[in-house]
A = this chain, B = another copy of it.
Amino acid sequence: MVSSKTTLKAGNMLNPTPVVMVSCGYSIDEYNIITIAWTGTLCSEPPLCYISIRPQRYSYKIIKENREFVINLVNDKLSAYADWCGVKTGAQVDKFEATGLTPVRGSKISAPLILESPVNIECKVKEIIPLGSHDMFLSEIVAVDADKSLFNPKTNALELKKANLVSYSHGNYFNLGKLIGKFGFSVEKKK
């Protein structure tokens, strides 16, 4: 290795990541929320994503049995709830009740979405792949629900910037900051 670099032991250093609240459960007494950073998009067509969960986590069994969950995107207002839902366990506390967040039945699945989240991604599990400390839930996106306030009233286009989403990097939550540019900005012709 060249002298300006230090080689560390192999480990997870992919940053920044998303940070999302995953809601699950078939009936209201089973509803739970788990906060997850190990999630991502896997495929466009069909639209596939994943979440990775330790088998010891309280939500693991719920999602494994129901094979459904909702990925709720986190904005700055929700960041303290997201952190709290990542620290606490559903084995000891009803997270919807404790946070006051509102569960709403999904449009395509029984698992609840979190009403206060700006965007809710409804998922059905296709395959559970054991990997070691975590199992990967490879899942199909079956519907997306977004706050009406995020759409441009004239064009009806989704303007996700309005959502004030939060990013996670090396143990820290950040607001998205300055816009650098949109995809393709490096080759855009100046008008």
Contact = CB atoms under 8 A, between A and B. Distances in A.
Interface of A: 1-18, 20, 37-50, 52, 71, 73, 76, 79-81, 83-84, 86-88, 104, 107, 115, 119-122, 131-134, 136, 140-149, 151, 158, 160-161, 165-167, 169-187
A44 B187 contact: no
Contact of A186 (B87, B146, B181): B87
Contacts of A39: 14, 40
B40 A17 contact: yes
Contact of A6 (B48, B87, B148, B181): B148
B173 A6 contact: no
> Top 6 nearest A-B pairs by Cβ distance?
A177-B177, A40-B40, A43-B131, A160-B170, A83-B186, A175-B177
7 contacts: A12-B44, A13-B146, A46-B132, A86-B183, A160-B170, A161-B169, A165-B169
A167 B16 contact: yes
B186 A179 contact: no
A145 to B, nearest CB: 4
